Amino acid sequence: MQERKKLVAPCGIDCGICELYMSRDNQQLMDYLLVKGIPKEKLPCDGCRSINGNCPVIPCQCDTFKCAETNKVDFCFECDEFPCSKLAPAVDRADTLPHNIKLFNLCMIKKSGLEDFIKKSLEIKQTYYKGKMEVGKGPNLDKS
């Protein structure tokens, strides 16, 4: 479990369920990512913390990762500036990028602990991408 905990980035993104990480055990996923333009030498990704925030899908080190290092925090919620504009949600590419769930993930980690978050992380991601919003009730996965 200790190794698994290292796969949750300071911003709350769970690299352990990221396609870039999971491509190590899935050739079809690897081929898909290569077609999408991810450089072969950057796959599979070992997770944000292992690669010092140099995510394969961005051209330089992640500013949020650098900020967490500068502020000497393991997770952004431990920072006096939390929540900051680096974590603000945006509609651009929200249908394909997990960045709009960072604040939710960080709040879950703060409230329930990292181990409990990891147990729920995949369901949180699936709800984000496949759930349907019901006003007043929040997003739900169609269980049928």
For 38-79, write each residue's pLDDT tens digit. Answer: 999 999 999 999 999 999 989 999 999 999 999 999 999 999
Q: Is the peptide bond before 44 cis (omega within 30 degrees of 0)?
A: yes
pLDDT value at 144 more than 70:
no
Q: How far apart are CA 125 and CA 7, in angstroms?
A: 15
Query: How far apart are alpha carbons 6 and 8 in whole angstroms?
Result: 6
Q: Is 126 left (phi over 0), alpha (psi -120 to 50) or beta?
A: alpha
Q: Average model confidence (pLDDT) for the chain?
A: 93
User: Nearest to residue 77, comparing CAs of 12, 8, 144, 33?
Assistant: 12
pTM comes to 0.89
